[in-house]
Structure 1
Amino acid sequence: MTTVELLIYIIFRGLAIGILVSAPMGPIGVLCIQRTLNKGRRSGLATGIGASLSDLFYAMLTGFGLSIVVDFIENNQAPLQIAGSLVLTCFGIYLYRQNPARNIRKRLNQKSSFTQDFASSFLLTLSNPLILLLLIGLFARLNFFLPEMKVGHYILGYVSIILGAFIWWLTITFIIDKVRSRFNLRSLWLINRGIGIIIIIMSLVGVGTGFYEYFIK
Structure 2
Amino acid sequence: MDVSLFFKSALLGLAIAAPLGPIGALCINRTLQRGFLAGAAGGLGTALADGVYATLAAIGFAAFSGLLAQIDMPLRLVGGAFMIWLGLKSLTPGPPQSAQKVSASDLLGTTAATFVLTITSPMTIISFGALFAGLGLASNSGFSSAWLVVGGVFSGSMLWWCILSGGIALASHRLPETFALWVSRISGGVLIAFGIWAIASAFR
Instruction: State whether TM-score is above 0.5.
Output: yes
- Residue of structure 2 in register with 1:202 after alignment: 194
Distance (whole Å) between structure 1 residues aligned to residue 113 and residue 104 of structure 2: 13
- Residue of structure 2 in register with 1:77 after alignment: 72
TM-score when scaled to structure 1? 0.80
Call closer, same or farther: CA 1:145–1:37 in 2, change over 3 Å. farther
Asked if residue 193 in structure 1 is aligned to residue 174 in structure 2, the reply is no
* Aligned match for 2:98, one of 93, 100, 104: 104
Indicate if the aligned counterparts of 2:72 and 2:139 stay in contact, CA closer than 8 A.
no
TM-score when scaled to structure 2? 0.84
Gaps in structure 2 of 5+ consecutive residues: none
Q: Which amino acid aligns with 1:181?
A: H
Asked if residue 116 in structure 1 is aligned to residue 112 in structure 2, the reply is no
* Aligned match for 2:163, one of 165, 171, 182: 171
Distance (whole Å) between structure 1 residues aligned to residue 128 and residue 149 of structure 2: 13
Decide which moves more: 132-141 or 151-160.
Answer: 151-160
Shift of 1:111: 7.3
Call closer, same or farther: CA 1:21–1:197 in 2, change over 3 Å. closer
- Residue of structure 2 in register with 1:144 after alignment: 137
Shift of 1:152: 4.7
Q: Which amino acid aligns with 1:196?
A: G
Call closer, same or farther: CA 1:96–1:38 in 2, change over 3 Å. farther
* Aligned match for 1:159, one of 148, 151, 154: 151
Distance (whole Å) between structure 2 residues aligned to residue 190 and residue 180 of structure 1: 20
- Residue of structure 2 in register with 1:47 after alignment: 42
Identity %: 24
Q: CA RMSD in A?
A: 2.5
Shift of 1:45: 0.2
Give the number of aligned pairs.
203
Gaps in structure 1 of 5+ consecutive residues: 1-5
Call closer, same or farther: CA 1:33–1:144 in 2, change over 3 Å. farther
Superposed CA offset, 1:97-151 (max 9, x none) = 22362x31487xx7711122111111110111222232122211211354552x4
